[in-house]
Amino acid sequence: MNNSGKSPKISGLLVGGSGLIGGYLLHYFKTKTPEIDVRAPNSKKLSLRELNDIISYFKRHKPDFVINCAITAIRSDALLSYEVNYRGSINLARAALALNIPYIHISSAATLPPGENLTEEDHLPLDASLSNYAKSKLMTEMTLRHMHKKYGLQYTLIRMAIVYGAHDHKIQGINRLLFNIVDRAMPFMLTKKKGVLHSYSNASKVPYFIHHILKNRDAFSGQHFHFVDPEPVELAKLILTIKAYMNLKTPREIYIPYPVAKAGNNFMNWVIKLFNRLGYRAHMPAEMIFLENFYKTQTLSCEKLKNSGFVDPDPRATVFTELPSLIEYYIARWEHLNLFSSFSSKDFNLPHATKKKAGPAEEHAKIFLNSPEKLLDIMQREGVGPLKEIL
């Protein structure tokens, strides 16, 4: 522990702090835990690909714990997946081992087969045919267990399922589903009518669990946990709820059988390759490699989590209760980023958040669009003096 000022502070290293889950963690530790100080260097300062970055960081800062929620893009090649997700994670754990401090690692249900009520002991067989992502996550799970047994590494591994939460920079998982439905890129149902269930993980609750782990480190050392909402969710129901909330006509309730969806997917891959050869850059959404998951149940047991002493900060929150705010957040975000090809919130009777009254920033954006010289003049007259608030 580092003694700085009056009260002893625990200081932690968070790798992946700019990501979806890392962002929630950083915000939590900055606002809710005065006794814990978390540093979150970005990947330019501390890259998991560079062993020297890890060594020099640990030499300089000597953290009291490490949380790793870094990940390379899901479609990354073997080299990057290996270097960041596997070797980088293990090097970070080796550094934690050297200082004998807790190492908390975020993993994924991608290491699990389809099935119901899967436990923390379940995993896919390690096989060359796994995707780079799943392989690198599974190998990390296995090596961390080995390091615990062989050297006493104090680690806790948290497996997340389909993660929901705001501030995701990428469009993946449930966000891809939402994006495609809203942008009317899903004319029919790419799942079965009934019985395809998945587990969901609430990103905003992860920090509470990690804080609980840090307060009870001995009980959690060498343990794996599933961090999922207690109730699994039927994919068809989720799609139809989004459709109803948005008052959309599609996807129509025609359920495409898996072999047909797979053939369509293969065809699109072929078309895209053709276009790429002609010089147009295009690619399939990364998670189409998980198309099979739209047709297969995968639910994770949360029994161990329930018995861990962790108190859910908001037991009523589920993906359904969060859906309205997520839809409004992401629609506004994707519209600002000009990502939609066929959707405009103006055409929809959406709740207030996406149609909020224009404020000064929106007024300025209009001037920025139509008469930038006028905006330059306004700014230079009114908006460039010293920031007195600082003084």
Ligand X SMILES: NC(=O)c1ccc[n+]([C@@H]2O[C@H](COP(=O)([O-])OP(=O)(O)OC[C@H]3O[C@@H](n4cnc5c(N)ncnc54)[C@H](OP(=O)(O)O)[C@@H]3O)[C@@H](O)[C@H]2O)c1
Q: Which of residues 43-72 bind ligand X (CB under 6 A)?
A: 43, 47-49, 69-72
Residue 185 and residue 154: Cα distance in Å, rounded? 46
We find the least distance from the C-beta atom of residue 185 to ligand X, in angstroms, to be: 19
- In the stretch 137-156, what mask flags binding to ligand X with x, by CB under 6 A? x-------------------
We find the least distance from the C-beta atom of residue 184 to ligand X, in angstroms, to be: 23
19 is an interface residue for ligand X by CB under 6 A: yes
We find the least distance from the C-beta atom of residue 161 to ligand X, in angstroms, to be: 6
C-alpha 369 chain-centroid distance? 33
Please identify, using beta-carbon distances, which residue of 107 and 345 lies nearer to ligand X: 107
We find the least distance from the C-beta atom of residue 14 to ligand X, in angstroms, to be: 9
Out of 12, 13, 14, 21, point to the residue binding ligand X (CB under 6 A).
21
C-alpha 224 chain-centroid distance? 19
We find the least distance from the C-beta atom of residue 16 to ligand X, in angstroms, to be: 4
Please identify, using beta-carbon distances, which residue of 15 and 153 lies nearer to ligand X: 15
Provide the 8-state DSSP code for 2.
Answer: B
We find the least distance from the C-beta atom of residue 361 to ligand X, in angstroms, to be: 26
C-alpha 328 chain-centroid distance? 18
We find the least distance from the C-beta atom of residue 270 to ligand X, in angstroms, to be: 28
Please identify, using beta-carbon distances, which residue of 154 and 172 lies nearer to ligand X: 172
Which position's Cβ is nearest ligand X? 19
Coil, helix or strand at residue 6: coil
- The Cβ of residue 114 has, within 10 Å, a number of other Cβ atoms equal to 15
R_g of the chain computed on alpha carbons: 23
Please identify, using beta-carbon distances, which residue of 88 and 251 lies nearer to ligand X: 88
The pair of three-digit structure tokens given for residue 60, joined into one six-digit string: 């300089």
From the number of C-beta atoms within 10 Å of its C-beta (0-12, 13-18, 19+), residue 244 rates as exposed
Calculate the alpha carbon distances from 147 to 115, 136, 156, 233 in Å. 28, 16, 12, 35
Count the residues of the shown chain that bind ligand X, applying the rule CB under 6 A. Answer: 26
Please identify, using beta-carbon distances, which residue of 172 and 345 lies nearer to ligand X: 172
Please identify, using beta-carbon distances, which residue of 105 and 350 lies nearer to ligand X: 105
Q: Which of residues 68-127 bind ligand X (CB under 6 A)?
A: 69-72, 84, 106, 108
The structure tokens 């929106």 sit at 362
DSSP per-residue codes, 227-259: E--SS-EEHHHHHHHHHHHHT---SEEEEPPHH
Core vs surface per residue 305-342: b (16+ CB within 10 A) or e: beebebebeeeeebbeebbeebbbbbbbbbbeeeebee
Please identify, using beta-carbon distances, which residue of 157 and 350 lies nearer to ligand X: 157
232 is an interface residue for ligand X by CB under 6 A: no
Calculate the alpha carbon distances from 360 to 107, 158, 363, 366, 367 in Å. 43, 43, 5, 10, 11
Out of 2, 4, 42, 56, point to the residue binding ligand X (CB under 6 A).
42
Angle at 136 between CA 180 and CA 56, to 5 degrees: 110
144 near 86, Cβ under 8 Å? no
Out of 9, 11, 18, 335, point to the residue binding ligand X (CB under 6 A).
18
From the number of C-beta atoms within 10 Å of its C-beta (0-12, 13-18, 19+), residue 370 rates as exposed
Element holding 56 (H helix, E strand): helix 51-61
Please identify, using beta-carbon distances, which residue of 11 and 18 lies nearer to ligand X: 18
199 is an interface residue for ligand X by CB under 6 A: no
Q: Which of residues 292-331 bind ligand X (CB under 6 A)?
A: none
Out of 12, 14, 16, 138, point to the residue binding ligand X (CB under 6 A).
16
Please identify, using beta-carbon distances, which residue of 174 and 375 lies nearer to ligand X: 174
We find the least distance from the C-beta atom of residue 278 to ligand X, in angstroms, to be: 31
Out of 12, 22, 102, 232, point to the residue binding ligand X (CB under 6 A).
22
We find the least distance from the C-beta atom of residue 209 to ligand X, in angstroms, to be: 13
We find the least distance from the C-beta atom of residue 63 to ligand X, in angstroms, to be: 15
Task: Write out the residues near ligand X by the rule CB under 6 A.
Answer: 15-22, 42-43, 47-49, 69-72, 84, 106, 108, 137, 160, 162-163, 170, 173
